[in-house]
């Protein structure tokens, strides 16, 4: 069941990355405002799912909820903003391939903090995942400096997602909240953080202008994340980080490359991108299969 939930979440996260780039290119809205609106929509979707599932306000005790406050502040709180900036600068395919390194960092962190076992396959898988990112970082594309900044932001996002995965595994084991209620809590906190950041970075008039334009443009990404987060937290309730994270990374990476290649074509797909995604997937798959 955890595998099916993880694959479902991965496909939805792939849709988020691809449709976000399409929306950003079409509207030219600020990425920080776009991220805030996306997560606000996602939090609303997750809240509806939680309410339909029978969650009540008095079920949200501080003891069960506090861990999800921390997760929400990190991802999607900070991570969604850096991820959207990376998507605009480097494109969804390249950004998501860099996110393919998340399983490596997740397993390293899980080994340190959750006492999950380390092995030679983890070392090899980690090296392969990092190699895929290096292939992209050394790619000779136009405006390479901008693209590399985007890849650096994607790398920062990968680390934040890895922290999310490890914290989610630990917190879901200790909390009595349902996965849908936990997702609503996580996304709600993330939305608050992103809104504060966006308001602080933009003038009030500019924020309001971008907010109005973002509402319809970010609807599909928001719906995708709102459905994906409950599924991902449910997967972490049932499976280890060393299993869920590599499957999530593989599904998200392949889904994004295929979907963006279909809808965007152009520079999103070339031989180097295909080779990089193959190497990154090999690393994540090796970690997942051997653990």
Cα-Cα-Cα-Cα torsion 242, 245, 248, 251, nearest 10 degrees, comes to -60
pLDDT band at 244 (very low <50, low <70, confident <90, very high): confident
pLDDT at 12 over 70: yes
Average pLDDT, the chain: 84
242, 291 contact by CB (below 8 A): yes
pLDDT band at 145 (very low <50, low <70, confident <90, very high): very low
Among 27-31, 209-213, 252-256, 277-281, the range scoring the smallest mean pLDDT is 277-281
- Top-confidence residue, 103 or 150: 150
Among 3-17, 160-174, 219-233, 261-275, the range scoring the smallest mean pLDDT is 261-275
Nearest alpha-carbon partner for 287 in 165, 148, 164, 151: 165
State the average pLDDT over residues 182-192: 95
- Top-confidence residue, 276 or 31: 31
Nearest alpha-carbon partner for 222 in 99, 71, 124, 76: 76
**Residue 261: CB partners within 8 Å, gap ≥ 6?**
93, 268, 269
pLDDT band at 267 (very low <50, low <70, confident <90, very high): low
pLDDT at 103 over 90: no
Tokens 């709180």: give the residue. 77
pLDDT for res 143: 46
Query: With DSSP H G I counted as helix, E B as strand and the rest as coil, what are the percentages for the chain, rounded to 5?
Result: 85, 0, 15
Q: How many Cβ atoms from other residues are within 10 Å of residue 115's Cβ?
A: 7
Whole-model pTM: value is 0.85
pLDDT band at 133 (very low <50, low <70, confident <90, very high): low
- In percent, how much of the chain has pLDDT > 70? 88
- Top-confidence residue, 289 or 92: 92
Domain boundaries, the chain: 2-290
82, 143 contact by CB (below 8 A): no
């Amino acid at each position: 069941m955890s595998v099916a939930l993880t694959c479902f979440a991965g496909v939805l996260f792939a849709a988020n990355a691809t449709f976000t780039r399409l929306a950003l290119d079409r509207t030219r809205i600020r990425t920080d405002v776009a991220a805030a609106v996306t997560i606000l929509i996602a939090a609303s979707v997750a809240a509806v799912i939680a309410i339909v599932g029978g969650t009540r306000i008095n079920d949200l005790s501080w003891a069960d909820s506090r861990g999800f406050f921390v997760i929400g502040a990190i991802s999607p709180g900070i991570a969604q903003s850096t991820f959207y900036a990376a998507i605009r600068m480097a494109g969804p395919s390249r950004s998501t391939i860099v996110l393919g390194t998340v399983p490596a960092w997740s397993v390293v962190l899980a080994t340190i903090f959750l006492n999950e076992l380390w092995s030679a396959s983890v070392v090899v898988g980690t090296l392969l995942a990092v190699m895929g990112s290096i292939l992209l970082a050394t790619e000779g594309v136009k405006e390479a400096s901008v693209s590399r900044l985007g890849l650096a932001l994607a790398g920062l996002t990968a680390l934040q997602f890895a922290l999310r995965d490890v914290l989610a595994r630990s917190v879901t084991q200790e909390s009595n909240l349902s996965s849908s209620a936990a997702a609503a809590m996580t996304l709600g906190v993330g939305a608050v953080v992103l809104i504060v950041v966006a308001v602080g970075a933009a003038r009030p008039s500019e924020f309001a202008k971008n907010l109005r334009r973002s509402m319809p443009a970010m609807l599909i990404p928001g719906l995708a994340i709102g459905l994906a987060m409950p599924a991902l937290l449910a997967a972490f309730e049932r499976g280890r980080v060393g299993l869920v994270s590599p499957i999530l990374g593989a599904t998200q990476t392949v889904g994004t490359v295929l979907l963006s290649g279909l809808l965007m074509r152009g520079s999103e797909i070339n031989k180097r991108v295909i080779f990089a995604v193959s190497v990154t997937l090999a690393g994540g798959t090796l970690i997942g299969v051997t653990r």
